Structure 1
């Protein structure tokens, strides 16, 4: 009588362990999908929305990928791409003709590209991957896309043109003004001293008014303000032989 009881107890233990194994979560039936939390782009850029997944089961023809979009203003998510053996990008709507499949499921990649991003594309993009029997776990992941207006950039050639046509003339004008300040024009005395009609000083007899022997060496500033006629007479006077100082004979 005791042997049948022992066999029944052993059978019950085996059945209990079997049911526990069936009810326990299996590590095989889990999948993890990963996407970047945020992506920033400028208006008109081509944006890559990355999506990778890890699965203990080899991807088969039953694996599916779904991409959905939820606007920044809110509202229900809208699925715009489905992958099952091949990709089915949208042909109309907000993303019509602007989505390209970039994924390689055999390598755990389910990424897409968004062409010519606009400010209306701001929102949350969700990647969902199912790979039976791995249908449990973290099958979805979200990415927030932020598109900003493009800032005009200045090229190096534009900067060089600005430096050449603006800064260079300004520097030349500044140097000219500094030169005039360092070498001002000699103020001429309009009131001349009264002299006798027959009194002739050295230099007047050669046609150079106001020239004296003590002014043989002209300064830089004097040459700067000297007229062309005065320069000619000055050179002619230096070529002539010196004469005794004094008064010239009157021709009256």
Structure 2
């Protein structure tokens, strides 16, 4: 086998191994109901083995419904970055330092925040002279917004 062919085979196996690794991680089930005026955490968890070094970029998108065109609303690329629009100043990075939790929070929910939120994760891995990258939609949250919560017999019910 030639050196070049051996190198390509090794690279293919290495990329396959990175894509197939399933590190131990707890995938949180995101909340899907928010109340007007309250904060709401949009949960996104994307596991990566801690010993693997990767550059991570996270894009959060919003759609009014499942078939609408996605609108970029938030970016994390080494630091949190708001995007001009109705969410500017209302979205906060709520992720972890190790970038397994990639969540954001809406600080003051409005009725207009109802819709689908998508967390898209881009990771670029470096192995000596080679790089590999993957992109995946980590989370879809179909958010329902309620005007208020009423209490009946010490149990919360949506009015």
User: Scaled by the length of structure 2, what TM-score is found?
Assistant: 0.70
2:75 to 62, 78, 82: 82
Separation in 1, partners of 2:21, 2:59: 15
Following TM superposition, by how much is the alpha carbon of 1:136 offset from its aligned partner in structure 2, in angstroms?
2.8
**How many residues are aligned here?**
143
2:41 to 48, 73, 91: 48
Task: Tell me the residue number matched to 2:16.
Answer: 26
Go from structure 1 to structure 2 and tell me whether the alpha carbon gap of 1:144 and 1:17 turns closer, same or farther (over 3 Å shift).
same
Q: Which stretches in structure 2 are left out of the alignment for 5+ residues?
A: 126-131, 155-159
Separation in 2, partners of 1:21, 1:131: 20
Q: CA RMSD in A?
A: 3.3
CA contact (8 A) 1:66 1:79 kept: yes
Does 1 or 2 have the higher relative contact order (CA < 8 Å, sep 6+)? 2
Q: State the Cα deviation string for residues 196-223 of structure 1 (Å, max 9, x = none).
A: xxxxxxxxxxxxxxxxxxxxxxxxxxxx
Task: Tell me the residue number matched to 1:149.
Answer: 147
Go from structure 1 to structure 2 and tell me whether the alpha carbon gap of 1:110 and 1:27 turns closer, same or farther (over 3 Å shift).
same
Go from structure 1 to structure 2 and tell me whether the alpha carbon gap of 1:38 and 1:144 turns closer, same or farther (over 3 Å shift).
farther
Separation in 2, partners of 1:79, 1:31: 29
Task: Tell me the residue number matched to 2:110.
Answer: 118
CA contact (8 A) 1:30 1:55 kept: no
Q: Counting helix residues as a fraction of each chain, which structure ranks higher?
A: 1
